[in-house]
Amino acid sequence: MFIVGQALQKASLSFRHTQRTNTLVKMAGAKEDGYSRRIMQYMEGFMVSKTLFTACELGVFDYLNASECPLSAMEVAQGLGTSMDGMGRLLSACVGLELLTTQHSADGQVLYSNTEMSTMFLMKSSPQSLYHSVEYNSNTTYLCWHNLTDAVREGKNQYEKAFGVSSKDLFEALYRSDEEMVRFMQLMNSVWNICGKDVVTAFDLSPFKSIYDLGGCSGALAKQCVSVYPECTVTILDLPKVTETCRKHFLSAEDVRISICEGDFFKNALPDADLFILARILHDWTEKQCRLLLAKVYQSCKPGGGVLLVEALLSEDNSGPLTVQLYSLDMLVQTEGRERKGSEYTSLLTAVGFSTIHICRAGNIYSVILALKG
């Protein structure tokens, strides 16, 4: 009986060992499958982007919205002047991306209509539209990113390879045509239309009556400021051709508490102000240029005044967020700058004299840094 008992015990141990081994093999296999799926998603991510870009550029979402009822692929193709086959595949992919929804007609045709997400963010007419951000990413950013390997090797932006223009003057390259300048300004307009209120309410800015928005571009953030703080006035300081376009396309006679000043904040003297705003400005430039600009801001701040920085911050341990890590690569292919950590901006600010510095997260992407002059 003892021998039989030993045999049964060994058999039981062997069975449990086999079970554990099989479980570990299954877990390893599941992990490998998860890894491979993730790599495939990374590898094919550009396909998702280009599907979105193409649908916007062809006007799919606006066309569907203009219709009083869902449309078939043939109707959309005829309306937008595309092939039936190509449009059918595009619409199907948009359904998979949850940008469109489907239903069947009485005769069995698949009919397409916008989802709430595409209606809200992809139609040109929506107040929250990201259409122009999509357009800029498709026509400019995507082409620069095609040369990311060269950017990493060379450590410089890729405007010359992508567009055949010199990048010695960054904004001459960025604003290489009137059309491209308007496209960039529309991009910034759409960003601040969505994120601007979170940015200007991260801190109480009501004590600051005279505000200068350096590189204020389309004036979208200035509009958010005067909307939230009725006692303040905001002056947009930007390059002459930017301010001309701002007056023509983005500001109206109703924006009475917003004024415009032509200038180059690196080359020209800055006026005295209670508060200077640098929203997504410093990430365009090197540390040396950042210190130069912040020193000028500090000298022009009135006593008790300050500067408000709006940037996407990297974590202190370099672990993320992924969006900001990708933005930093974008700065490599498009600018002279980089995304930075909160501690790096703090060092830049204290180096030029700012003594009181507060950092606050504002929404899902951006953080706001308020530095005061003692």
Please name the amino acid found at residue 323. Answer: T
Environment class of 97 (CB within 10 Å of its CB; exposed 0-12, middle 13-18, buried 19+): middle
- Residue with structure tokens 């990297």? 314
β-bridge mates for residue 278, sequence order = 309
Contacts of 242 (CB under 8 A, 6+ apart): 175, 181, 185, 217
Question: Quick check: helix, strand or coil at residue 170?
Answer: helix
| Beta-bridge partner residues of 306 | 275, 372
Place of tokens 């992407």: 365
Distance CA 258, CA 234 (A): 5
Burial track 46-71 (b if 16+ CB lie within 10 A, e otherwise): eeeeebbbbbbebbbbbbbbeeeebb
CA distance 196 to 229: 13
CA distance 221 to 368: 13
Cα–Cα distance measured from residue 324 to residue 365, given in angstroms and rounded to the nearest whole number: 8
Which is the catalytic residue, given 104, 249, 283, 358?
283
**CA neighbours within 13 Å on the CB side: how many for 207?**
10
Q: How far apart are CA 275 and CA 211, in angstroms?
A: 5
Cα end-to-end distance, the chain, whole Å: 90
17 carries an active-site annotation: no
CA atoms of 305 and 373, how far apart (whole Å): 6
Catalytic residue set = 283
